[in-house]
Amino acid sequence: MTRIHTLRLILGDQLNASHSWYSEHDDGVLYLIAELRQETDYAPHHVQKVCAFFAAMKGFATALEKAGHHVKHMTLDETQPFDSLNALLKALIEKHSVTRFEYQLPDEYRLREQLRLFSAFLDIETTPTGCEHFLVPDDALNQHFTAGKHHLMESFYRKMRKQFDVMMEGDKPEGGKWNYDKDNRAKLTKAELECIPEPLVFANDVSTILERLERHGVETIGFASAQLLWPVTRKQSLELLDYFCQYLLPKFGSFQDAMTSESPHRWSVYHSRLSFALNSKMLHPMQVIQAAIEAYRQPDSGISINQVEGFVRQILGWREFVRGLYWANMPEYSTMNALGGTRKLPNFFWTGETKMQCLKQAIQQSLDYGYAHHIQRLMVTGNFTLLTGIAPEEVDAWYLGIYVDAIEWVELPNVRGMALFADGGLFATKPYSASGNYINKMSDYCAGCHYKVKEKVGEGACPLNSLYWHFMERHRAKIAVNPRAGMVYRGWDGKSDEERSAVLDQAAHYLGNLNNL
């Protein structure tokens, strides 16, 4: 038997089959992929999220073995004696008398620090390496991001377009515009609702994983199913990418902000749902971008430029941007609370039992599928937690746990920065706050709601309306410095003292009864 000289750690979100590690075969290199209570227990995770990661890890281990690599895949049954990743690594290093420990740099600060400190006390050679996934590698992030400084996503996005020559004509953007966002705010009409394609889902048997989670007493949230609909292999991920390009991309941009309760496919609409495949690194971002552009360029594709540009911006712009912001500002970013939120998350965030139709739809969908699209996350659940002053750590834990694609590097900036403005403006120039009018404009939720979207005060008045003005008033000193907020405050100041007081009193009533909304 070949002596093991090197132990290489593969984390659950490092399932990158194209990593240079795998370009050569060496029986003396042992690859470790392990299910750990350390990772299931640091937040209350959705059961489908845990199942998706565990199934994908098993699939990746099997693929590596078939490719001729020496792999040790450990389930919770086998890692039970070890109270941490450190303890497991130490035991394996000692058991095999390895002389070298290697790992890919984790994308979470928590794990990166843990492995850095662990390695510092080893008396064998240790080599961290890049994950070879992101378009902006770790050693180039400081060229784009500075700690404590506001960065504009649009400027970063344009740099990326130029650097990678994506949809460029010389030094000009293809089509003459960098951004087609104004064309991508359509509401779904009744006719459009009937045209939403059925989403491609999978039927991965995770019954043994569910049994294992129950046996080990792992606490989870959300709806559990023995048939997991998320892709857990590279093959399935590529199938989902192909399906998106063929059936969903043609209308993705136009309806990327639209929400509905009237379609059986309301949870998916035209969204790619590739985020888990990307964030677990089963797919490479440039591969996804190129597939979308290739579909757009096909003769008679019927795909307009606003559809593909909107998608490219999410991958090339937002995804790389939030990661850069995260690493430039950690660990301080995880404790920022610029607006001083202190309230507890209402109980209905764990049940979906609320009379507010927009929240009911977004939360119930999240519990059912471990998924909501970006506008539901930002402008429904995110907006509500912003307006009501929920403590950022409460919101962080919910978002990090409930979504199958949530890993801290992407969750934290989107929650603390974009949804809650807790970073004081490092991410956004002003809070993404909205009243019920926005929800009514972009969805059909309000038509079936217990509350009246047109009313600010009185019985049955939409809570978002008074909560919006209460938020704008209590944070006026910070928000009013933005010139774009001037018109909003002029409209508010133009109302009578009695009208303003009535709105603020209505909001105060709702704030005191959040669990009953």
Average pLDDT over all residues of the chain? 96
- Find the angle CA(397)-CA(398)-CA(403) to the nearest 5 degrees: 110
pLDDT digits (tens, 9 = 90+) for 98-110: 999 999 999 999 9
C-alpha distances out from residue 68 to 20, 22, 65, 96, 371, Å: 15, 10, 5, 20, 35
Average pLDDT over residues 273-289: 98
| Cross-strand partners of 221 | 46
- Which of 180-194, 271-285, 357-371 is least confident? 180-194
Angle at 40 between CA 325 and CA 415, to 5 degrees: 30
Q: Quick one: pLDDT at residue 162? A: 97
Strands 172-173, 204-205: pairing kind = unpaired
> How large is the average pLDDT for residues 11-19?
98
Name the H helices within 46-138: 47-66, 76-79, 85-96, 109-120
Pairing of the two strands 70-74 and 6-9: unpaired
Does residue 305 have a pLDDT over 70?
A: yes
Q: Over pLDDT 70: what percentage of the chain?
A: 100
In angstroms, rounded to a whole number, what is the distance separating the alpha carbons of residues 162 and 169? 10
Q: Report pLDDT for 127.
A: 93
Residue 120 has pLDDT above 70, yes or no: yes
> Each residue of 192-243: pLDDT tens digit?
999 999 999 999 999 999 999 999 999 999 999 999 999 999 999 999 999 9
Structural domains present in the chain = 6-129 (3.40.50.620), 140-214+232-323 (1.25.40.80), 347-516 (1.10.579.10)
What's the pLDDT at 354?
A: 98
pLDDT of residue 197: 95
Amino acid type, 86 = N
Start-to-end Cα distance in the chain: 65
The predicted structure's pLDDT at residue 183: 82
For residue 177, the model assigns a pLDDT of 94
| pLDDT at site 483 | 83
Task: Specify the pLDDT at position 513.
Answer: 96
Q: Which residue, among 408, 415, 423, 421, has the nearest Cα to 333 in the 3D structure?
A: 423
The predicted model gives 139-151 an average pLDDT of 95
Residue 104's H or E segment, with its range, is strand 100-104
* Residue-level pLDDT at 51: 98
3 state DSSP class of 113: helix
| H helix runs in 285-428, sequence order | 285-297, 305-312, 320-329, 357-369, 374-375, 383-387, 392-402, 408-412
* pLDDT the model gives residue 1: 66
